């Protein structure tokens, strides 16, 4: 023992940090919530049907021994190959049997659909090869899975890990002799569905986080696609990940993370259940021929489009925090296909066409008055809302000297009626209210208010309506 005064000797962590039970953690959390609904505030329910809790602890891994106790490069390959990913902007698999889960992603699939449909197609590829007399191990080794990774960081990490875990079980069921052949080969590229032609540098940020997800998730090959920015920047993402983040120095850096391991298990289970559902319904080829897969993807795509339009799903720079001065789209490479930003891009295209033809952009005046907190919050909301369509935004507390195509009143609910009664007779521009004062709507309409924008508004429908009413771009342009 040290004999210097005040030296307590070796630190005994269990004494200094005594165990804290889950119940104690929950008690502190609920106290901090001060009566707010725990489930609504802290549980994240993804579109995949996965419910994520606010914290995970070691006890949550008690039944995941097979998943977490293997080492990188060993069955069931949840932890990857143990080798660093390669970077290839033109990654493809010559002579290989390709399962294109990335095309499912492009079509709007949820993560669970990606896993379930890709695994189901892989099963049929395996069956077709083994029916021709090809050994199961050889058949499995000839199949390469292509994935796209989006910007939901941890979900994408877990997706790649879950895919390998589930595929190892599929290949095992075919009776392979060499467990090494059960490792899924993953070629991954950055997503296209979440990119915008009007926000190239946010696209660059997105591909950076997506590339990091792919590397941490254990992909074999990664392709970083440029979208609206120069291709050399896409190439540099891989260099930065290697030289500065050192992704090539650690195998499975997410291994052992309570959160990532539980998320991996949940996605693997749900992906497996989706695979079983496809098998019960006749298999991947039968469902594809019947149009059932196309229909399922169309439904999930429609749900995401509606969530984007109502801004329940946020795409920064597109339906929130737009660059209001960006009227012209980027000219750098833009892969084709469906994207979440398209409805908003059509609005901006109408605005850009109008600005070119008339030499001016329509102006939205955010007129503020009254309660400071509410007027600023609603002015910021309205700036985001109308900025998504490319309107020029002016904020003021008076009509004097202002020229506006549309006036938005920004105040508190109790103050709106007097505000509207003062402003509406003094301007020829349409006046709308930022908010949803349900008890006063009829009175506000009677005072001259022509519309309301609020958090429950469908932004695409509302913005389209005002472009039509203000004859910006014309209804014909919208229809085209």
| Mean per-residue pLDDT, 168-172 | 97
Strands 143-149, 185-190: pairing is: parallel
| Mean per-residue pLDDT, 234-238 | 94
**CB under 8 Å, gap of 24 or more: what pairs does 422-426 form?**
423/367, 423/399, 424/448, 424/449, 426/399
pLDDT in tens, 183-228: 999 999 999 999 999 889 999 999 999 999 999 999 999 999 999 9
pLDDT grade, residue 470 (50/70/90)? very high
Q: In angstroms, what CA-CA distances link 99 with 105, 127, 201, 301, 337?
A: 12, 14, 31, 21, 19
* Number of Cβ within a 10 Å radius of residue 133: 7
In whole angstroms, give the CA distance from residue 89 to residue 225.
Answer: 7
| Mean per-residue pLDDT, 377-393 | 96
pLDDT in tens, 396-435: 999 987 789 999 999 999 999 999 999 999 999 999 999 9
In whole angstroms, give the CA distance from residue 268 to residue 461.
Answer: 38
Check pLDDT > 60 for residue 478.
no
| Mean per-residue pLDDT, 86-99 | 72
**Contact between residue 405 and residue 389 where contact means Cβ atoms under 8 Å apart:** no
| Mean per-residue pLDDT, 42-68 | 90
In whole angstroms, give the CA distance from residue 273 to residue 299.
Answer: 19
pLDDT at 336: 84
**Contact between residue 227 and residue 335 where contact means Cβ atoms under 8 Å apart:** yes
pLDDT at 480: 35
Check pLDDT > 60 for residue 3.
no
Domains and CATH numbers, the chain: 52-305 (3.20.20.240), 353-479 (3.40.50.280)
pLDDT at 324: 84
Give pTM, 2 decimals.
0.91
Check pLDDT > 50 for residue 49.
yes
pLDDT in tens, 5-40: 556 667 777 777 888 899 999 999 999 999 999 999
**Contact between residue 467 and residue 444 where contact means Cβ atoms under 8 Å apart:** no
Tokens 């196309």 -> residue = 294
Name the CA radius of gyration of the chain, rounded: 27
In whole angstroms, give the CA distance from residue 158 to residue 48.
Answer: 13
Check pLDDT > 90 for residue 90.
no
pLDDT at 402: 74
In whole angstroms, give the CA distance from residue 311 to residue 102.
Answer: 25
pLDDT at 476: 38
In whole angstroms, give the CA distance from residue 137 to residue 459.
Answer: 52
């Amino acid at each position: 023992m040290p004999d210097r005064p005040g030296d307590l000797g070796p630190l005994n962590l269990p004494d200094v940090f005594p165990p804290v039970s889950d119940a104690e953690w929950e008690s502190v959390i609920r106290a901090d919530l001060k009566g707010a609904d725990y489930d609504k505030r802290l549980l994240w329910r993804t579109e995949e049907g996965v419910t994520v809790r606010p914290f995970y602890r070691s006890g949550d891994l008690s039944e995941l021994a097979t998943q977490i106790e293997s080492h990188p490069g060993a069955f069931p390959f949840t932890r990857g190959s143990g080798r660093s990913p390669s970077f290839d902007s033109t990654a493809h698999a010559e002579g290989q049997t390709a399962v294109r889960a990335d095309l499912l992603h492009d079509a709007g699939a949820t993560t669970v659909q990606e896993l379930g449909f890709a695994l189901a197609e892989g099963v049929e590829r395996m069956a077709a090869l083994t029916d021709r007399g090809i050994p199961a191990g050889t058949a499995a080794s000839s199949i390469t899975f292509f994935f796209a990774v989006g910007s939901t960081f941890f979900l994408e990490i877990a997706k790649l890990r879950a895919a390998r875990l589930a595929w190892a079980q599929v290949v095992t069921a075919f009776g392979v002799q060499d467990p090494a052949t059960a490792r899924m080969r993953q070629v991954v590229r950055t997503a296209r569905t979440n990119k915008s032609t009007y926000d190239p540098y946010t696209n660059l940020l997105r591909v950076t986080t997506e590339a990091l997800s792919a590397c941490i998730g254990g992909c074999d090959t990664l392709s970083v696609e440029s979208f609206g920015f120069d291709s050399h920047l896409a190439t540099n993402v891989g260099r930065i990940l290697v030289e500065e983040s050192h992704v090539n120095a650690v195998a499975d850096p997410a291994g052992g993370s309570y959160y990532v391991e539980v998320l991996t298990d949940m996605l693997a289970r749900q992906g497996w259940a989706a695979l079983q559902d496809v098998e019960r319904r006749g298999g991947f080829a039968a469902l594809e021929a019947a149009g059932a897969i196309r229909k399922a993807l169309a439904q999930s795509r429609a749900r995401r489009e509606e969530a984007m339009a109502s801004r329940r799903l946020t795409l920064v720079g597109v339906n929130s925090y737009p660059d209001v001065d960006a009227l012209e789209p980027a000219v750098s490479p833009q892969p084709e296909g469906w994207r979440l930003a398209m409805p908003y891009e059509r609005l901006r295209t109408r605005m850009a066409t109008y600005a070119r033809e008339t030499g001016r952009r329509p102006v939205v005046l955010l007129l503020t008055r009254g309660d400071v907190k509410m007027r600023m919050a609603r002015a910021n909301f309205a700036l985001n809302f109308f900025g998504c369509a490319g309107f020029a935004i002016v904020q003021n507390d008076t009509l004097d000297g202002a020229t506006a195509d549309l006036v938005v009143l920004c105040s508190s609910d109790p103050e709106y009626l007097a505000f509207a009664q003062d402003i509406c007779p003094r301007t020829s521009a349409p006046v709308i209210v930022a908010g949803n004062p349900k008890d006063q709507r009829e009175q506000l309409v009677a005072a001259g208010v022509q519309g309301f924008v609020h958090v429950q508004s469908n932004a695409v429908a509302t913005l389209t309506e005002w472009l039509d009413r203000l004859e910006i771009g014309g209804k014909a342009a919208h229809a085209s």
